[in-house]
Amino acid sequence: MSTETKEWKEAQKERFDHRNPERSVHKSPEGLSEEVIREISEEKDEPDWMLERRLKSFRHFKDKPMPDWGPSLHELDIGSIVPYLKADETTGEDDWDDVPDDIKDTFDKLGIPEAEQEALGGVGAQYESEVVYQNMKDQWEEKGVVFSDIDTAIEEHEELVKEHFMTNCVPPSDNKFAALHGAIHSGGSFVYIPEGVTVEMPIQAYFRMNSEGMGQFEHTLIIAEDGADVHYIEGCSAPMYSRHNVHAGCVEVFVGEDASVQYSTVQNWSKNTFNLNTKRAKVKSGGTMDWISGSMGSKTTMLYPSTHLEGEGASDRHITIGFAGEGQNIDTGAKVSHLAPNTSSTIESKSISMDGGRTNYRGLVRVSPGAKGVKSSVDCDALMLDEDSISDTMPYEEIKESDVDMAHEATVGSIGDEDIFYLQSRGIEEDEAMQMVVSGFIEPLTEELPLEYAVELNRLVELEMEGSLG
């Protein structure tokens, strides 16, 4: 490996593993209690209805058992997690120069300002538990597009938030970690696209956990009215610590008639993080929902974006990739409920495992009675780079209608010696040859991202293969 290549990889590692000394203007005690929940709500000066929803969620959290059907969570100790940490009084600035220097330096290293200038219609940056920067280009604001943090949305669009926030899309009773999120959520994004408006440039939110032993619980709420069109990109990262961190965010997407939403995420949580997200979309007639997901990091991931196709002709697409190295269990998948006639869904799942890592596709396709003319296909491909790694596929189909076109295919393979030999015969070193094969394997995902993010994803995969991250 050349000196220039080594220097480049060290620089890339520093981008993601960079950490600042912890500082805070408000830090909750460890653990979860009604007192902590009230403290968070008071710090945010929330309306009474939001506090009531937090407390209701807390009751659900206490009543629900830990899931025992997936990866082991025995090392997860919610009682040792700091649920809320506000690093600075500065929140939601729309001028990059006003962001505190140490926080700004972190996002500078991650390339957020350059991405905003070159490829984005708007950007939000969350550090610890609060959004520190939020900006939307004037050309979209003039068309009525709203992109803000949730706290600002409650102040300026209270009725919209109250109607949609954890009511009928992801209720707190849905699962243990949705209830946890509902009790102590903080930060996140609110996106509103008016009827008939197309946002031609992606908008992005980036979430960064800096402190050891904390949890991040951002909430993303996207509302696309009839005929609207938007691409939302989410990025996540955290440096490596010896104590466990928890990420239990929630995403709710409402897609109107003939509207289109693409939700892309590239996650690079460190390998001490439990990533336990809940994501769901509800799609009306003729609407389209796309989930594009890359899970590159974490100790344990349980992530199954789901879509309810509620109107005739609605469609849904999932393209996901999971990468698991030593000590990682990446359990991901997709869920689709066909609730109306002539709806369609496509699920394409790819996974890579090496050094004894474990990946798993866990999916559900449900077709309700009366949902005639449904078309659905599931394609799962797993690539294992050594004999110690594990890859599983657990699809589940619940079909209650006879007029359905349903297909499922799964393959598991390894990188062939002949492929590596061919590339080496062309003067390519073995490590680089393996990376080229893997890059081709994940191409269906990278093709769906803007160029800057496709390059970023390939860099992350390359660093993971070298064991350079977390």
Q: DSSP letter string over 364-417?
A: EEEE-TT-TTEEEEEEEEEEESSTT-EEEEEEEEEE--SSEEEEEEEEEEE--H
- List Cβ neighbours of 318 (8 Å cut-off, separation of 6 or more): 290, 291, 293, 305, 334, 336, 345, 346, 347, 348, 349
- 98 CB neighbour count, 10 Å cutoff: 11
Mean pLDDT, the chain, integer: 84
214 within some domain: yes
251 within some domain: yes
Distance in angstroms (rounded) separating the CA atoms of residues 440 and 423: 13
Band the pLDDT of 233: cuts 50, 70, 90. Answer: confident
438 within some domain: no
467 within some domain: no
pLDDT tens sequence across 372-397? 999 999 999 998 888 889 999 999 99
- Per the DSSP assignment, residues forming a β-bridge with 343 are none
Give the dihedral of Cα atoms 150, 155, 161, 166; nearest 10 deg.
Answer: 60
138 within some domain: yes
Lowest mean pLDDT among 15-29, 44-58, 237-251: 15-29
Note the pTM of the prediction, 2 decimals: 0.88
Gyration radius from the chain CA atoms: 21
11 within some domain: no
Q: Residue 8: its pLDDT value, please? A: 46
pLDDT tens sequence across 265-317? 877 777 888 999 999 999 999 999 999 988 877 899 999 999 999 999 999 99
139 within some domain: yes
For residue 227, how many C-alpha atoms fall within 13 Å in the half-sphere facing its CB?
Answer: 4
Give the range of the structural domain holding residue 91, as residue numbers without chain letter: 22-417
Amino acid code (one letter) for 252: E
Q: Strand 288-295 and strand 219-224: pairing?
A: unpaired
Instruction: Output the six-digit token pair for 213.
Output: 């032993």
Residue 235 has pLDDT above 80, yes or no: no
pLDDT tens sequence across 74-132? 999 998 988 888 866 556 556 667 766 766 666 665 565 565 555 566 777 777 777 77
pLDDT tens sequence across 430-444? 777 777 777 777 787
Three-class DSSP category at 117: helix
Residue 18 has pLDDT above 70, yes or no: no
Band the pLDDT of 470: cuts 50, 70, 90. Answer: very low
Distance in angstroms (rounded) separating the CA atoms of residues 372 and 68: 35
Work out how many domains the chain is built from and give that number: 1
Give exposure, 124-145, as e/b (b: 16+ Cβ within 10 Å).
Answer: bbbbbbbbbbbbbbeebeeeeb
Distance in angstroms (rounded) separating the CA atoms of residues 127 and 102: 11
Residue 319 contacts residue 331 (beta carbons within 8 Å): no
Q: Strand 122-127 and strand 130-136: pairing?
A: antiparallel
pLDDT tens sequence across 125-148? 777 777 777 776 778 889 999 999
pLDDT tens sequence across 168-188? 999 999 999 999 999 999 988
Give the dihedral of Cα atoms 96, 97, 98, 101; nearest 10 deg.
Answer: 100
444 within some domain: no
